[in-house]
Structure formats: C-alpha cells, structure tokens
Amino acid sequence: MESRRLGAHGPLLSEIGLGCNNFGMRIDADETAAVVKAALDAGITHFDTAEMYGNGVSEQYLGAALGSRRDEVVVATKFMPRPKDQPYTPGVVAARIRESAEGSLRRLNTDYIDVYYEHYPDAEAPLEETLEALDELVRSGKVRHLANSNNDAERLTAAAATASALGSAAFVGTQLEWNLLSRDVEEATVPAATALGLGVVPYYPLASGLLTGKYVRGEAFPSGTRFAAISFFAEIATEANFDKVEAYAKYAADHGRTIGELAISWLLGQPAVTSVIAGATRPDQIAANSTASEWVMTDEMVAEIAAL
C-alpha cells in the first residue's frame, strides 16, 4: 500500500483509508476488531472516525481494536458543531471543541489525535474562535494536524486567510463527498483546495454501495444492505445513475477489473486526492477495497471514465 502526504505539511496517509462509521452502528466490537486487523494486514494506516459515529462507540471500538499498534497508524476523528438549538455566544464553540477533543482522546484511549476534523462548519461562529481553539489543541500536543470536512470553496479560502492572519495552525486537508455519481465538488471546491495546498480525502467513494454492483436495476435491494435499511441512501438509485453504473461496469470489465476497483482507482487518479476512505463491515471487503490501489490509471483512462 502506497502512501501520500495530506497537503503540504500533513501526515502520510495510506492511499486507502478505513472509514469507521460502521463501528458500533452496523458491527459490534469483535467484528470491528476483525475488520481493523484485516486493514492493518493490508497495509492500511489511515483510520477515519468521528465522535458522532455510534455516539462515540466507533471511537471506543477503534481504540480497543488498535491496542498496542496505535502508534503505527494515523487516527483521524471529528468534532460536531454547536447544536442547532444552542444560540451562539462568544466562547461556546471553543468550549465545544475542547470538550469534544477530551472525549475523543478518552474513547480512543490515546493521548494524541493525528488529524482532527471540523466535521461540519458552523456558519454563525467566527472562524477566529474555531481556529484559536484548535490551535490551542495543537500547541498542547493533543492534536497534531487540523483538517475540515463538508466545507465549500469560499470557506476553505476564508479559513486559510484567517489562520494566516492569526498566525495559528491551519487546516492541511479537507474531506468531502466525491465519487463518480457525485461530482459537484469538481467545479469549485476541489480547485480551491488544490490552490490552497490542501490534501483532499473523498468519502463515499462507492456511493454507499451503488458503485459495487450489489444493486441491480429493477430488483429489490438485498436484505441487510444500506439501501434496504435507510431510505435516505437509496435515493441515489435512480434510472439515470443505473445508466452510469452500467457504463462504468462495462469499462471495468473490459480492463479485467470490478466497478468498485474502478470507482476507487479513478479517485486516486485525481491529482488533489491524498487518500480515499472506504468503509467495511467484513474483512473480505478490506481486500476488495485495497486491491483498487494496485490499478494505477493513466490520465487518459481517468478522462475516459469521466466522459462516461
């Protein structure tokens, strides 16, 4: 498994990262341990979780599963924004960040977080307050690198300018939804991240499973799958998207590959991308995701797939 640096000054991340949102939600502690072991065996060193996943249980399960191997990997987690029903007053966001970081450290059973993400932006809170609170965590050694998630181009630019003006630690990367069926970020957000020197970490690379071939046009969603369980995710199973999936599947088959490998390899072929986060509930899914990094696409192939 090859590694890439997150932005200009971030840590080295394995090209495939393990998304830990299933831990404590779809799989238990023992199943989590099996998935984490498979990831480590495959050379994956990038583990992405958040305090909101399973209400903190994901962090707890991940910390236990890593055990003595914690220092061999990069652990990324995220803090939630101020609750919507809590009005903004000066200092409330900083307190939320400090409280969240302490909780994550405790659940992960570690004394430092490699990459700490702002999970969602707080539009009403001053960026200065957010960045100053995060800078305190970096200076204390509790956090090593900062990043954000679900930000648009305007906020990425504003955050970089604010950090520069404050002389504080700045974001080194950004995480966003990006896959062959969700490409709006290519218009402004990805170019802005590139211009700012941020590493890009796509999540949902397989479009919640639609880009794996497990869902078939006109057939009921298989029992136990995300589409069968949660209607929100199933909304992308449109006729237009099935047309695209079938075109991608044919291209992959023509090259002796699966559509899942194509989806992940295509993202790794984007110059801005550092690591692609893929979730798993079983060890065999780790192997399937990991082999995708072995397919190194040419610029011509990346363009051909985009044109489909």
Distances (CA, A) of 87 to 26, 93, 95, 96, 111: 33, 10, 14, 13, 31
Nearest to 145 by CA among 176, 190, 186, 175: 175
Q: In sequence order, what are the residues at sequence separation of 6 or more whose Cβ sits closer than 8 angstroms to the Cβ of residue 248?
A: 180, 211, 259, 262, 263, 305, 308
Residue indicated by tokens 């690591």? 275
d(CA 100, CA 296): 38
Sign of the dihedral through C-alpha 291, 296, 301, 306: positive
DSSP label at residue 272? T
Contact 133, 92 (CB under 8 A): no
Catalytic residue from among 53, 61, 117, 215: 53
53 is catalytic: yes
Active site positions, annotated:
53
